[in-house]
Amino acid sequence: MNEESGSALEDVQSGPAEVALDIDHVGVKNVRLPLVVRDRSQGHQHTVASVDMGVDLPSSFKGTHMSRFVEALEAWREGSSEELDYASMKRLLSDVLERLNARRARARFSFPYFITRRAPATGRPAPVCYQCHLTGEMKAGSTSPRFLLELEVPVTTVCPCSKAISNAGAHGQRATIRLALRLRRFEWLEGFIDMAEKSGSAPIYTLLKRPDEKFVTEQAYENALFVEDVVRRTAYSLEADDSVVWYRVEVESEESIHGHNAFASIERTAHDPHADNS
């Protein structure tokens, strides 16, 4: 009923679609909200997330009820104190399935995650930002949602070819290591971030004084790596981690002397030959 007029409002969405095609995913994108995530050194970290949510929609319905996604998010925030973990994501997906009467539900949280890094020579602290994404998917009647963790880790690379053929110096640049992981248990974000940083020529820092800049420049020069080297080193470390069921690694280098970027990628099923990676 309309609270102001007392008249019934037509539920247009619940009518049949004019074009009888099922929709794979329909919902809302870029809902901004406060978020709490686990932090290995502090226990918890407060950040801000952008949330995308969707469900399947059969052709028997013209449209979905967009407001119900936001209602589910608000109920989730009240019940979980804005903390994102396995249990709270499962509750959110279950609630979305019920509210939307859906067969499949998906939620993706994108958020910046900060780790304080000390400069290598002076020890000056400053936070470094890493972009993270956690996607949960769940089918109606299922008790085990599927999760995909994605991380973007910036590093420095120095070109081995440039170093070998130049009488002075070698070109260096920033590169991004993108990880997509399916895990069999909870693991700290910091562990995978550290793993990726160690695969580059040198880490990225927010605050560098002159002694620090000298240290990082020389460190990267002595550890010159192609994107091919970086992606192989990262994948090798993931292969040794028994919490990883499946992974995809892509390294993209923002080339400093070329008019294009360079990239390399590896995708593997790890430790579980029967895993479904579709």
Residue 275 reports pLDDT greater than 60:
no
Q: Name, in order, each residue with C-beta under 8 angstroms of 134's C-beta and a sequence gap of 6 or more.
A: 84, 89, 108, 109, 147, 148, 149, 150
Task: Give the model confidence (pLDDT) of 170-211 as tens digits.
Answer: 999 999 999 999 998 888 999 999 999 999 999 999 999 999
Considering only residues 42 and 248, tell me which one the structure prediction assigns the higher pLDDT.
248
Mean pLDDT of the chain: 90
| Rounded CA separation 121/124 (Å) | 8
Alpha carbon of residue 60 to chain centroid: 34
237 closest CA partner among 223, 226, 247, 224? 247
Contact 83, 37 (CB under 8 A): yes
* Res 24: pLDDT: 87
With bands split at pLDDT 50, 70 and 90, how would you rate the model's confidence at 135?
Answer: very high
| Rounded CA separation 57/79 (Å) | 27
| Rounded CA separation 153/195 (Å) | 10
* Res 143: pLDDT: 85
Residue 91 reports pLDDT greater than 90:
yes
Contact 53, 88 (CB under 8 A): no
Residue 13 reports pLDDT greater than 80:
no
Q: Give SS3 for 118.
A: strand
| Rounded CA separation 13/60 (Å) | 10
* Strands 104-118 and 202-203, bridge-based pairing: unpaired
Tell me the domains of the chain and their CATH numbers.
23-144 (3.10.270.10), 152-272 (3.10.270.10)
Residue with tokens 């580059």: 200
